[in-house]
Amino acid sequence: MKYIISSVLLLVTLNIYGQQTISKWIPASGKWVLTDTTICQEDLSSKQARIDIRLPEKEVIKFSFTVEYIKGGYRNKDDLKNKKIHAGFGVHIGVQNPNLKKSSWGNGKSYLLWLNIDTTDWTEKNRKEYIGLRAQIYRSSSAHIMRLLRDTRIKNNNELDRMTPGDYISIDLVSAIQKLSNRFLPITKITEYAIQRGLFISIQFNKKTGKVSIADPTNPSMKFITYLDPAYLQGNYFSLRTNSIAVSFKDFKVQ
């Protein structure tokens, strides 16, 4: 009987937490519209749109959601016609001392896992580590300091070295998916897939070991694994973030 009562209480607690999750989000910048199951960011002009939430205090945290494109990512119709686009979205994990209710480049002490698409002429000429569709990792030290990570070991790995210029952790996602699952998906197909069906995002991280497991958004059965500095994963806040794009985040879940 004690076991049954405890189980019922646990289920009730989890159900209440799930119902209240949406109301616990704290907008920082951008235009966020929240419903029972969806979190939308609608401001196309915001380059640092962010919304934060406090997560349970656990050593291992897994979260998932489906992100769907609404509009934006280009300056005008000519850019869209010529496929000159720039937009991104991502998540801050393990956030310590978040910059709540304020716009900022960084967000406390955390890591930003970022999916960026940039096909503009300026980037092609000046910042090749950003061109194309890229999975990136930034390390934030404060509200004002956040940098794209670099790892000199990349140059010693022939596969990774071909996927990113220099030693930046800015992986060419088209090449990575091709290597991981032995199938070729050009950037146009991946973006069309994302717009038509949405992308299922599933990420798990371990605060003690720094291990981060990220599901391939086009094939969730495949995983990208990396190890980050646990010192930047100790916080209990989590953030959704966008750049110059309107998107919706649906069915956000935490385990």
Q: Which domains, and CATH codes, for the chain?
A: 2-254 (2.60.120.560)
- State yes or no: pLDDT of 93 exceeds 80: yes
Determine the pLDDT at residue 85: 86
Between 175 and 143, the higher pLDDT residue: 143
Determine the pLDDT at residue 20: 39
The mean pLDDT of the chain is: 83
Which structure tokens are listed for 201? Answer: 């995002």
pLDDT in tens, 167-199: 888 888 777 767 666 555 555 555 565 555 688
- State yes or no: pLDDT of 165 exceeds 90: no
pLDDT in tens, 38-71: 999 999 999 999 999 999 999 999 999 999 999 9
- State yes or no: pLDDT of 208 exceeds 90: yes
- State yes or no: pLDDT of 218 exceeds 80: no
Average pLDDT value for residue range 127-139: 90
Determine the pLDDT at residue 101: 97
Percent residues over pLDDT 70 in the chain = 79
Determine the pLDDT at residue 112: 98
Percent residues over pLDDT 90 in the chain = 53
Average pLDDT value for residue range 74-81: 85
Reported as a pLDDT band with limits 50, 70 and 90, residue 81 is: confident
